[in-house]
Every structure is written in structure tokens, then in C-alpha cells.
Amino acid sequence: MGKLRNIYFYILVIGSFSFFIYWIISKGEYLEKGKEVIDTTQDTSAFGEFTESIFGNLHHSVGLLLLQIIIIIVVARILGWLFKKIGQPMVIGEILAGIILGPSLLGMYFPEVSAFLFPPESLGNLGILSQIGLVLFMFVIGIDLDLGLLRDKAHNAVVISHASIIIPFALGIGLAYYIYTSYSPQHVQFSSFALFIGISMSITAFPVLARIIQERGIHKTKIGAIVITCAAADDITAWCLLAAVIAIVKAGSFLSSVYTILIAVLYVWAMIKLVRPFMKKLWEQQGADGKSNKKIVVISFLVLLVSSFITETIGIHALFGAFMAGVAMPDNMQFRKMFIGKIEDVALVLLLPLFFVISGLKTEIGLINDRELLEITGIIILIAIIGKFIGSALAAKFVGQNWQDSLTIGALMNTRGLMELVVLNIGYDLGILSSEIFAMMVIMALVTTFMTGPSLDLINRMFNPDKQAK
């Protein structure tokens, strides 16, 4: 009986007030006289109104942004899954997803679709979201960096990692001398162009390398520990070097960049000597019992944002600040799991694919359309492999590794992946790299990352033919 009474009440209330609303709106139409109200319903059908509304909503900034994110994630995940199935890092598929959705494929063969999905005025929103994803990603990389491992194996790691930076860096400077006249943008100083080519050649993709090592089950072996340590030392050195390069480029000369570099050194000292002990003490006092995690999370995010803001303001890019904020976090496994679990999925699954597509939209493979450009691309790839692969392998052999382990270290250190794209995008956005050079370097990043797996398999077959036969 009570249920039936509720139904009657519901019908009475909804029905009577709906009728009242309709009556008021009908009466209100008489108020439009003298207002010169334009009637938009006379020339279109109801279905026409509906379709116009749908397309209007799609072109609204939020609607279009959500559609872009959906398409980007779907394409990136499909290609990432396919490449994982053939034994390659997912990042290769995700980078290719960006190239496919950019002018190299979608824009070339389906320009109307490309113009509808990625109009130039919408790319600013995608770019901001992708930068947020990169900031979070670099924060996670910094948190996951084991400084204790660096201290334990610092000697050999520093020798190998610094050799794997200076050799390709020097070769990159030589390459810049060869291609500067023909391929550098106008009004770009040779020093700026050469420094960015050099740093682009010397980057190792620490996260991709770590994932390859884990997938192959060698992360707990001696060679796995050495490579992870080398890559970590490489990461720190390369990002400090990149910060100095950006400071020099933005300042215009080395002398005028000295102030920026000195502030950056002071900033790094403060993060290691002041912020890191503070965060460690805070975690020991309040976070370890699990009751004050929200407070720790809020303070950690504030450290991340302030650190990124400081480095962006002084002229060495927000990503370096995010990385240093991660390094300053407590060296505690529970803290790492808590934070990486909160950030990694959002950064890797949702936001980083946006960065790949932004990179893909800047990459026009079609620009590499004659023999000379193809030859330059081949030279870039060859120099990158010689500098990083051979340079790392020879350095590892010099510090006492056998040839199999030395070549394995060289193959892994030659992996570039996402970190290469980060550097290339910084150079492109600063106007230092032309569209042709940017496309060539993206191809180099794909080739050197793709060859890591086959190179490791080849090395294993060379030194363990009996095991491979079984």
C-alpha cells in the first residue's frame, strides 16, 4: 500500500510541475515581441538540429579534447600491444601511433579527418596535458632511481656511463659541423645547434631499458645491476648536461649562462642536502605508520610543483625540476610503491600517449623525400650506434667486463625511446632543430630502440650457441 501511494505521489508531483513549466514557457513566448529574437528552427528539421548540435558539441574545446584523448589512447594501446607481442618495447608502438596520427600518414592520406580531429587551435590543450604527463613521469623516474645502487657501484658505472655520453656527444658535435649549413634553422647559432645534436646523440632511455631488463629476467643478475646503475648515472649526467645546454641556448652565450648554471647548482645542492633529509624525516615521523599518507602526498606534490616551477623559471626546464623532486623523495620501498602506484598509471596510460602524438604531429616523415636526406638520416643512425653502442661496450671492456657483458651493456645503453623524444621536443620548441632534422632524429630514436631486442638475441647466440640450440 505504501509503495502504491509513493507512485501516485510521484506521478502527481512530476506531472503537475512539468505542466506548470510547459505553461510558463508557452506564456513566456509572448514576451519575445519587440526583442528581435531570431528563430533558428524554421529552416532546419528536428534531425538537422540534432546533428548540428552533435557537431557543435564535438568542436567545443572539451568535447574535442576528450575525443582526441580517446583516439590517442586506443591507437597507442593497440600498437603498443602489437609490438609487445613481437618482443619489442611498447614505447615503439606508442611512438608510431603518434606518427600515424600525425601528418606523416593520417594528414597525408586523410587530410579532412586529420583537420577535424587535430585542428591547429586544439593542439595547445593537448600540449599542456602532455607536459603534465611528462612532469609526473619524470617525478616517478626520480623516485625510482636507487642512489644507493649508484654509491655501491659508482666507480665502474661512472666510467661506462660518462664514456657512453662523451663519445656520442663529441660525434654529434662533429655531425652538427657537417649538417649545420644546410639543415639548421635560420638565426640559430652553431653552438646551440651543435650542443643539441650532441645531447640528442648521448641520451639513454632509462625507463625503457629498465623494462627490457625486467622482461628478459636479468634485472637480478650482476650484468643487470651494472646496466641499471650505468643507465641511472647516465640519466643524472645527461639531465644535468641538458639543463646546462638549455641555459646556454636561452642565455645566448656561455658567459651569460654562468649565472643560470650557478643557480642550478645551488638548487641541486638544496634539493639533495635540505629537501631530501626533510622528506625522509617527515616520512619517518608521519608516513611510515600509514595514517598520514594524505599529508605526505600533499607535501610531496607541492615539492614536485615548486621544484618544476623553479627550474622552469631559471631557464633549465620544468622536467629537470620534476626529476630532482623525485630524487629528493625518501629512499623507502613503501613510499615508492605508494607514490608510483598513484601516479604511474595516470602518467603512462593516460597522459604520455598524448606526448607521443604531439611529437608525431611535429614529425613529417614525408620531408625525408630525396636521396641526400635519406643518406643524412643513415649517417645520423650510424653515428648514434657507433657513439652509444660501441662507446659503451669499449668502456665496459676497459673496466674489466668480458666481451659478452660489454656488448650487452652497449646494446642496452643504445636504447633511446621516450627520453630521446623529450630532448628532441625541447630542441624543436626552442627553434633549434628544423622539421627535417627533427624527423631524422625521431627515426633514429625508433631504429636504435627497435634494434635493442634483436641485438641482445644476436649477442646471446654468438656467445652461447649451445644454449640457444637447446
Among 12-16, 99-103, 252-256, 336-340, the minimum mean pLDDT is found in 252-256
Residue 80 has pLDDT above 90, yes or no: no
Percent of the chain with pLDDT over 90: 15
Distance CA 145, CA 142 (A): 5
Q: What confidence tens digit (pLDDT) does each residue in 229-250 have? A: 787 777 777 777 887 788 777 7
Sign, CA torsion 337/343/347/349: positive
pLDDT in the model for residue 469: 45
pLDDT in the model for residue 34: 65
pLDDT in the model for residue 374: 92
Distance CA 339, CA 60 (A): 34
Mean pLDDT score, 350-377: 85
pLDDT in the model for residue 306: 93
Q: Which of 76, 102, 106, 70 is nearest to 91 (CA)?
A: 76
Distance CA 294, CA 283 (A): 12
Q: Which residue has the higher pLDDT, 225 or 114?
A: 114
Q: How confident is the model at residue 58 (pLDDT cuts 50, 70, 90)?
A: low
Q: How confident is the model at residue 135 (pLDDT cuts 50, 70, 90)?
A: confident
Residue 390 has pLDDT above 60, yes or no: yes
pLDDT in the model for residue 44: 52
Q: Which of 172, 319, 150, 340 is nearest to 239 (CA)?
A: 319
CA distances 101 to 66, 106, 109, 168, 437, Å, are 16, 5, 11, 31, 20
What does CATH list as the number for 95-460?
1.20.1530.20
Residue 220 has pLDDT above 80, yes or no: no
**How far does the chain reach from its first CA to its final CA, in angstroms?**
78
Neighbours of 115 (CB within 10 A): 12
Percent of the chain with pLDDT over 70: 85
Distance CA 322, CA 140 (A): 9
Q: Cell 593516460 belongs to which residue?
A: 350
pLDDT in the model for residue 198: 92
What residue type is assigned to position 170 of the chain?
A
pLDDT in the model for residue 1: 64
List helix spans (H) across 252-332: 254-270, 276-282, 293-314, 318-327
pLDDT in the model for residue 66: 87
Rounded to the nearest integer, the mean pLDDT of the chain is 81
Among 72-76, 120-124, 410-414, the minimum mean pLDDT is found in 120-124
Q: How many residues does the chain have?
A: 470
- The answer to whether the beta carbons of residues 426 and 209 sit under 8 Å apart is no
Residue 377 has pLDDT above 90, yes or no: yes
- The answer to whether the beta carbons of residues 68 and 396 sit under 8 Å apart is no
Q: Which residue has the higher pLDDT, 408 or 208?
A: 408
The reported pTM is 0.76
Distance CA 360, CA 102 (A): 5
Angle between helices 352-362 and 123-144 (to 10 degrees): 130
Q: How confident is the model at residue 191 (pLDDT cuts 50, 70, 90)?
A: confident
Q: Cell 668480458 belongs to which residue?
A: 402
Distance CA 396, CA 401 (A): 6
Distance CA 87, CA 106 (A): 26
Q: How confident is the model at residue 438 (pLDDT cuts 50, 70, 90)?
A: very high
pLDDT in the model for residue 307: 92
Q: Which of 158, 195, 140 is nearest to 322 (CA)?
A: 140
Q: What confidence tens digit (pLDDT) does each residue in 249-304 have? A: 776 666 666 777 788 889 889 998 999 999 888 887 765 555 557 788 888 899 99
Residue 350 has pLDDT above 60, yes or no: yes
What residue type is assigned to position 325 of the chain?
A
